[in-house]
Amino acid sequence: MLTEKTKKILLIAAFVASVIGIGIALYFLFFRPVSQITIVPGEGEEPSIIIGADGLPISGSGQPTTGTTTTTPSVLPEASEIAAGGITKTIVLTTSSVESVTVSQNGDGMNYYDPRDSRFYSIDADGAVIKLSNKQFPDVDNVAWNSDSSKAVIEFPDGSNVVYDFTAETQVTLPKHWEDFEFSPTQDEIVAKSIGVDPNNRALVISKSDGSQVQSVQALGENADKVQINPSPSDQIIAFANTADSMGFGRTTILPVGKNQENFKGLVVEGLGFDSLWNPRGDIILYSVYGDTSDYKPLLWVVDGTVNSLGDDRRSLSLNTWVDKCVFASSSVAYCAVPQEMASNAGMQRSAYEMSSDDLYKIDLSNNRSTLVARPEISTPMTNLQVSDDGAYVFYTNNMNGRLEMIRLK
């Protein structure tokens, strides 16, 4: 039988043995040098690879590699100085909002109204500004320019209307009940709506630019808002009326109004919202409508504009925009601002696209081809497009801030 002293000695010995055993186990697991297997290469083989006991290669003492990985940063395409189908530089001509723009009398710049000081100015492509007159016209509501930009009908919020001749610096007053003025493209004449209180006293009228020799051309009655004044360069048509009965199947007949009350053949259009633009020669009408065939997006069409074949050769240009965002540079070439994105039913939601970014397209009517000319380097909603007489510049109003800007075409 073991004594108490003997038991204590055995317990101490067992403890010491267990400590030693644990230490040996730790040594073998973590501190023992790794055994190595050397694979000796044969003739022509690579140098030896040292394999550890766990089967994995052991790093050698070779020199570190000095090669680096080169990453090329993405570079945005540089904006072109001249429109070539891609991102294009835009030139800001005015530092503030301007109104009532048109090509200047010499054809290489723009006339405009500056509401800050109520005066009219002209600016060229280099940014040089001159006053068209020292006369001030406060709170101008609307301006219609004649074909050479030397005269303008100026409308005011109180209904007052004047014709101002910037060359002679003379002014005449027109009746207050006249509105929606347009100059004839070829004659020194004005076409307007005479809106009397009684619908029986409402009519389309023509007069000389000084308000003399007034002729009543067509009664309007209750349909004044359905008539668009748009005189033709041929001096035969003065307006279009959307007063015919619907043809069904999404089609509408637009009636041309003759200057001498002629009954011209109507234009059959595929949709609603008809608006039009004559080419300078007067033999083509560019127009936009929206309807089922275009998913109710505005779509550009062209038809023959000569009176003997009016409305013939109707064809779609497959370009979704409104015709008031277009301008003719010649009788066969037009430029249009086209929204970069457009959803279904956009034709019925015009206001939703007033600030939408536009691209600039060229339309060649000799082959019905539409080509992307420029995407402004800064997203821009473009309105009031005009082309210089030499075709070198497209001028436009930036609808975001009202400033006058331009893009070089050549």
Give pairs for 243-251: CB < 8 Å, separation 24+.
250/291, 250/292, 250/293
Contact between 374 and 85 (Cβ < 8 Å): yes
Residues 146-156: tens digit of each pLDDT: 999 999 999 99
Q: How many domains does the chain have?
A: 1
Q: How confident is the model at residue 24 (pLDDT cuts 50, 70, 90)?
A: low
Integer Cα distance of 320 and 336 in angstroms = 10
pLDDT for residue 218: 96
Residues 115-144: tens digit of each pLDDT: 999 999 999 999 999 999 999 999 999 999
Q: How confident is the model at residue 304 (pLDDT cuts 50, 70, 90)?
A: very high
Which of 96, 193, 99 lies closest to 139 in space, CA to CA?
Answer: 99
pLDDT for residue 47: 43
Residue 303 belongs to some domain of the structure: yes
Residue 178 belongs to some domain of the structure: yes
Residue 17 belongs to some domain of the structure: no
Residues whose CB falls within 8 Å of the CB of residue 81, separated by 6 or more in sequence, listed in order: 88, 89, 408
Domain limits at 107? 87-408
Residue 67 belongs to some domain of the structure: no
Mean pLDDT, residues 269-297 taken together: 97
Mean pLDDT, residues 162-171 taken together: 97
| pLDDT above 60 for 57 | no
Mean pLDDT, residues 254-278 taken together: 96
Q: What CA dihedral angle connects 105, 107, 108 and 109, to 10 degrees?
A: 50
The two beta strands, 369-376 and 86-88, are: parallel
Residue 229 belongs to some domain of the structure: yes
Integer Cα distance of 248 and 290 in angstroms = 15
| pLDDT above 50 for 63 | no
| pLDDT above 80 for 62 | no
Mean pLDDT, residues 162-189 taken together: 97
Residues 319-366: tens digit of each pLDDT: 999 999 999 999 999 999 999 999 999 999 999 999 999 999 999 999
Q: Count how many residues are written for the chain.
A: 410
Share of the chain above pLDDT 70, in %: 81
Between 39 and 293, the more confident residue is: 293
Residue 77 belongs to some domain of the structure: no
| pLDDT above 70 for 18 | no
| pLDDT above 60 for 404 | yes
Q: Taking the chain, what is the end-to-end CA distance rounded to the nearest angstrom? A: 119
Residue 150 belongs to some domain of the structure: yes
pLDDT for residue 46: 44
pLDDT for residue 54: 45
Residue 384 belongs to some domain of the structure: yes
Assign residue 394 the CATH number of its domain. Answer: 2.130.10.10
Work out the mean pLDDT of the chain and round it to a whole number: 88
Mean pLDDT, residues 163-177 taken together: 97
| pLDDT above 50 for 246 | yes
Between 245 and 195, the more confident residue is: 195
Phi and psi at 312, nearest 5°, equal: -75, 170
Residues 73-119: tens digit of each pLDDT: 445 578 999 999 999 999 999 999 999 999 999 999 999 999 999 99
pLDDT for residue 245: 87
Q: How confident is the model at residue 28 (pLDDT cuts 50, 70, 90)?
A: low
